[in-house]
Structure 1
């Protein structure tokens, strides 16, 4: 009972130290919400109204029909009507357009003969946008071909592909990114709050007072871990509401399963933060340690690029990254409605990472104390 009273007193002290400054309160609460909104709109693979240039050398009914389909697509915006090849190439070189479409002379005759070639020049400096533009153009041309084939032969194509995307019917990249942003913002806030806790004590000269107080090292770590987890849970709840009610990302699974995964994730992140804090002598060193962990964690998490596509050696490094597991948990609960039984293979590594980090942090703290 006395141990619990001491720990509660230390937790109260940590909250007072964190929130006594108005600027600290604003930094902890407001920026994560703003970052979630900004990243939610900025982090997307969806491309709309791609600027393109067109050059119609045939000027026939068939070529105008193809251009009308291009202009009618939400994916493209005709920004330039070129009169020669040099004008079209210069527009791509200057970055004014992402793609240039050239319809050659004799296009209408070639359509009826069954063999036609249309040239598309794509700006490859941004490979992602260029690839998406090509895919969109292929969809437009495929629809045009189907219409022309039906008009010429009176029948549709011999094979008709019907596609259905599970879990994300419209293939909106926002449904993929926003749940990931939830984990990333929570990681950064929780890690900063925890990593700077002991370092702040040392820098302000109150660490020696803490050492002479009747606290065991494990009690000190618990008292510093709990505020970080509480702040993390509050942050993640606010961001979760933004994801569901602002960005309209469907929440198909159980909140209990989601919070179980988030609790284990916060436990592991707090363990990492306490390890950094136990090693750091100043807040500047704590910030540097946080940065050194955060950047590799994000890159090796599968947030933007699948873990399965990474090289074998790099992929093995991701097994100790808590962000990798929580991303799978969050996206599975949001989009698939997965339950705890399905996600058990992602939950137990988070618990193992948390236990290991907390054990190492306790050992480091004892070593620095004694």
Structure 2
């Protein structure tokens, strides 16, 4: 809605959307980025410094919509004067009356308004916490928003009056995921996932595709933390493949997590893919995995360490060092086979030591033995180490199995 409106006209548009049960219109009207709504509030305040929307809302709307609209208008007014904490306090006061209206709805038209409410609550709570941080106070609003949205989830899950209202649940879940990731309280995501997988909710395919993409993205990221890399790959690939083609920023964001998982499973992205999505930060790691260059790997990890840490992928990418060691070992094994065809399966540790020294990694034989023992344990290599003779004896059959068969899970 871009046309200029007076405050009275703005309330009239909201009233019409409620009376005609046009949920998408109502959601647009309460969007925090609705310029016409902001302008209407601003002009009303300019005309009357003592402006208060409650009287106009009470005379125009039945309960509980009068409380909902009044609280929303006060939220916008607070945002206009730059008070995010005050805006949040106004906004959350409309959640309980909105849930009352949602439960009373028998035609499921309130699904779209629910989307608008939960997005607004998270957005303003995030802004409020930033304001509190600047003031040196405890940042509590996003945590509080999580509790409020749990109530929204419960209301949507129950679907009183019309089971179709359960279709509002996934948007609430996605918004809670965003909150929990921001707060680093990922353990709270588990029960939400169980609820989505339960028979209490509609079939997953019945939810809007955009919501399914967002859900799979976050569950894929959670699978990475759980070291379930196959599940992570499957969910993140779904998110990438079904993301709106024009949403290039979102596709790049998904790839920031999908590419490390794919690399761990032995799937290397093309240079064209990396450059199309401006993800050249991975080129050094991909090159290292292709060539076995520990130097290239270390340089890339050092250069982009902060970027990887902020994305939460640094520890995952650190696991790729084993793949680089393996690639270098394969090259060493190939050279050794040419030099010693009769003993090709017995690779002297000193030969691998020399290859690492060429890469700028000076290690003693005990350290070399430790690296190779780890490769054998994790099934990057089939074989065993003869400590007495200081050689790695590799299997004559499939000495370097596919990376998908590797033991990637760390023992706590």
Indicate the TM-score class for this superposition, using the shorter chain for normalisation. under 0.3
Larger RCO, structure (CA 8 Å, separation 6 or more): 1
What TM-score does the superposition give when structure 2 sets the normalisation length? 0.25
What TM-score does the superposition give when structure 1 sets the normalisation length? 0.28
